[in-house]
Amino acid sequence: MTDPVRVAVTGAAGSIGYSLLFRIASGEMLGPDQPLELNLLEIPPQMDALEGVAMELDDCAFPLVQEMNLSDDPAEGFEGANICMLVGGKPRGAGMERKDLVEANGPIFKAQGEAINDNAADDVRVMTVANPCNTNALITMNNAPDVPNERFTAMTRLDLNRSKYQLANKAGVNPGDVSNIAIFGNHSSTMYPDFFDARIDGEPVPEVITDHDWLKNDFIPTIQGRGSAIIDARGASSAASAANAALEHVREWYTETPEDDWVSMAVPSDGSYGIDEDLIFSFPVRCDGNGNYEIVDDLDLNDFSKEKLKATEQELQEERSVVSDLM
Catalytic pick among 92, 187, 226, 308? 187
Residues 229-258 that bind ligand LMR (CB under 6 A): 230, 237-238, 242
Nearer to ligand LMR (CB atom), residue 71 or residue 131? 131
> According to CB under 6 A, which one of 6, 98, 99, 164 is a site residue for ligand LMR?
98
What is the C-alpha to C-alpha distance for residues 309 and 271, in angstroms, rounded to an integer?
12
Element (H, E) at 21: helix 15-26
What is the C-alpha to C-alpha distance for residues 160 and 245, in angstroms, rounded to an integer?
9
* Residue 15 interacts with which of ligand LMR, ligand NAD, none, CB < 5 to 8 Å by class: ligand NAD
* Residue 247 interacts with which of ligand LMR, ligand NAD, none, CB < 5 to 8 Å by class: none
> According to CB under 6 A, which one of 6, 92, 110, 308 is a site residue for ligand LMR?
92
What is the C-alpha to C-alpha distance for residues 144 and 258, in angstroms, rounded to an integer?
31
What is the C-alpha to C-alpha distance for residues 323 and 104, in angstroms, rounded to an integer?
11
* Residue 132 interacts with which of ligand NAD, ligand LMR, none, CB < 5 to 8 Å by class: none
Q: Has 212 been annotated as catalytic?
A: no
Nearer to ligand NAD (CB atom), residue 16 or residue 36? 16
Should residue 90 be labelled a site residue for ligand NAD when binding is judged by CB under 6 A? Answer: yes
The count of other CB atoms within 10 Å of the CB of residue 308 is 19
Q: Could you tell me whether strands 152-154 and 125-128 are parallel, antiparallel, or unpaired per DSSP bridges? A: parallel
| Residue nearest ligand LMR, CB atom distance | 227
Should residue 108 be labelled a site residue for ligand NAD when binding is judged by CB under 6 A? Answer: yes
* Contact (Cβ atoms closer than 8 angstroms) between residue 42 and residue 67: no
* Contact (Cβ atoms closer than 8 angstroms) between residue 283 and residue 170: no
* Contact (Cβ atoms closer than 8 angstroms) between residue 40 and residue 14: no
Residues that bind ligand NAD (CB under 6 A): 10-11, 13-17, 41-43, 46, 87-92, 108, 129-131, 133, 155, 158, 187, 237-239, 242
Residues with catalytic function:
187
